[in-house]
A and B are shown apart, each in its own frame.
Chain A
Amino acid sequence: MINLYPGTPQEILRPAKIGFIVATLVAALLLNLLPWAGWGLWVRPDFVALVLLYWCIDQPRKIGFGIAWVLGLLMDVADGSLFGQHALAYTIVAYAGIVLHRRVQRFSMTPQALHVVPLLLLNDMIVLLIRLAAGSDYPGYWYFLGSVVGGLLWPALSFLLKLPQRPRFDPDQI
């Protein structure tokens, strides 16, 4: 792989385990289900969309539309909202992640986050449009704040999710 940024050396990572991917997605679902209230509700990014996007960009061959769609259904049930709105949004986000993965992987953290924010905003927009069509009120600009926070969390998230793939230092092998 060509390294566009000489300052950030490319590492050779171990393969991601499918169990770990599923566990992180369940953890994201758990974070979404926490009893958020007040201003926490507005700054809360959609963790499921964020982690899903991460894995779609990082491991597009191991994760795909089926998982995104099922996660969307579970979110719809937890929210008590119309069936299929999160499913549709997550499917489209997964598509965007899979299509853009070669491009996004080349960049360092900050440009990566700048790629991620519009995708999360797209996720918000789809949910918003379906809600408006179903007769809800426009909740205000604050609604989109969560996606920006999600972009800010992106570097920390990718560091955390890459940890199990980092090669362990083996003292016998010098």
Chain B
Amino acid sequence: MEHTPPPFFKTGASPLVRLMIFSALSLVLLVADAGYKYLETLRQVAAVIIYPLQRLAAAPASLARGAGDFFTTQSALRAENAQLRLDNMTVAAKAQKAMALESENAHLRTLLEARQRMADRSTLAEVLYAARDPFSRRIVIDKGAQHELRAGFPVIDGSGVVGQVTRVYPLLAEVTLITDKGHLVPVLNVRSGLRSVLAGTGVQGALELQFSALNADVQKGDQLVTSGIDGVYPAGLPVAEVVTIDHNPAQMFAKVVCRPLGSVTSHTRVFVVHAAAGIPPRPAEEAEKAPRGRKASKGSKGG
């Protein structure tokens, strides 16, 4: 029989055993998170623990911005003021036109008994940090479930769509940018009215129009707006502009590269639109009714 002397010092399990235990735990977490999405509560708890650190880490940038605001010169302010006044006038003219159009639109919609478009509420949020992860295009904003944000809300800035809220913590929210790989936005070509799907490529500042036929009516400089088909993005928000079109006959589809209109890489403040999913429920399918009717008729025959 093998005899080992008792250990001098109690050190607990050996490092290898501990490595096995913790690796197994990590792997269980990985599989549970990737496959089953069981861990949202654990994530929420950890998010609350790390929240003060996140705010602290974002503080220097916020402070620097604040200090920059404090030290602007009077001439810069005056120039900005003049520019804003000019902008305001053009915008006011547009707004008056828009008001007339809106009332006309409302009238026509009631005539058509169409669904009223939602008067969307929006929340201004500050970007805490952006794109720290080289794998994905995401930003973290300083508003969360406490400010009634929910996953799925679209995020916009002054010039276009930025992305979509994908994960909400109590005090923070994670926004996936439209340039994230695999992120899709259903869009409408303003000039030709062509509907298509805009996909992120994972490369900064590049989007790709998917499945556009070789002879599709797409031109360089075309503006793309959201079509509102998915029920996530409200219709009519500007998204991107076509930059290059590559007609390669060897491929099934043309390769259309677009540039996002919203400043996806460099923003400090964004708007989160509280868009309720405004899609009417799917109509009941005929195919479902048919066999039931047949069964019913069979039943009546049998009875």
Contact = CB atoms under 8 A, between A and B. Distances in A.
Interface of A: 26, 29-37, 41-42, 64-66, 68-69, 72-74, 76-85, 87-88, 91-92, 95, 98-99, 130-131, 134-137, 139, 143
Contacts of A92: 19, 23
B47 interface: yes
B134 A139 contact: yes
Given A98-B15, A139-B134, A65 B22 contact: yes
Interface in B47-104: 47, 49-50, 53-54, 56-58, 60-61
Contacts of A139: 134-135
Contact of A137 (B54, B57, B128, B202): B202
Can you list the 7 inter-chain pairs with the closest CB atoms, starting with the nearest? A84-B29, A88-B26, A33-B57, A35-B129, A83-B33, A84-B30, A95-B19
A130 B50 contact: no
A136 B53 contact: no
A26 to B, nearest CB: 7
Contact of A42 (B25, B133, B134, B174): B134
Contacts of B136: 80-81, 136
A88 B30 contact: yes
Contacts of A134: 34
A83 B42 contact: yes
B204 to A, nearest CB: 10
A76 B30 CA distance: 11
23 contacts: A29-B53, A32-B132, A33-B57, A35-B58, A37-B132, A64-B18, A65-B18, A69-B22, A74-B50, A77-B46, A78-B132, A80-B133, A80-B140, A81-B135, A82-B33, A83-B30, A84-B26, A84-B28, A85-B30, A87-B26, A95-B18, A130-B30, A143-B134
Contacts of B216: none
B29 A35 contact: no
Given A81-B135, A84-B27, 13 more contacts: A29-B50, A33-B54, A33-B132, A35-B58, A37-B131, A41-B132, A74-B50, A77-B47, A78-B53, A79-B132, A91-B22, A136-B136, A137-B181
B32 interface: yes
B134 A41 contact: yes
A135 B30 CA distance: 14
B18 A131 contact: no
B274 interface: no
Interface in B3-55: 15-16, 18-19, 21-23, 25-30, 32-34, 39, 42-43, 46-47, 49-50, 53-54
Given A136-B136, A139-B134, A34 B129 contact: yes
Nearest to B128: A35
B130 interface: yes
Contacts of B29: 73, 83-84, 87
Contacts of B134: 41-42, 139, 143
Contact of A80 (B49, B57, B167): B167
Contacts of B259: none
Contact of A88 (B27, B54, B128): B27
A30 B135 contact: no
A88 B23 contact: yes
Contacts of A33: 50, 53-54, 56-58, 129, 132
A77 B50 CA distance: 8
A143 B42 CA distance: 29
A141 to B, nearest CB: 12
B130 A37 contact: yes
Nearest to B32: A83
A30 B46 CA distance: 15
A33 B136 CA distance: 16
Contact of B46 (A32, A36, A74): A74
A21 to B, nearest CB: 17
Contacts of A73: 29, 46
B138 interface: yes
Contacts of B56: 30, 33
Nearest to A83: B33
B15 A131 contact: no
A82 B35 CA distance: 10
A34 B15 CA distance: 32
Interface in B125-174: 128-136, 138, 140, 167, 174
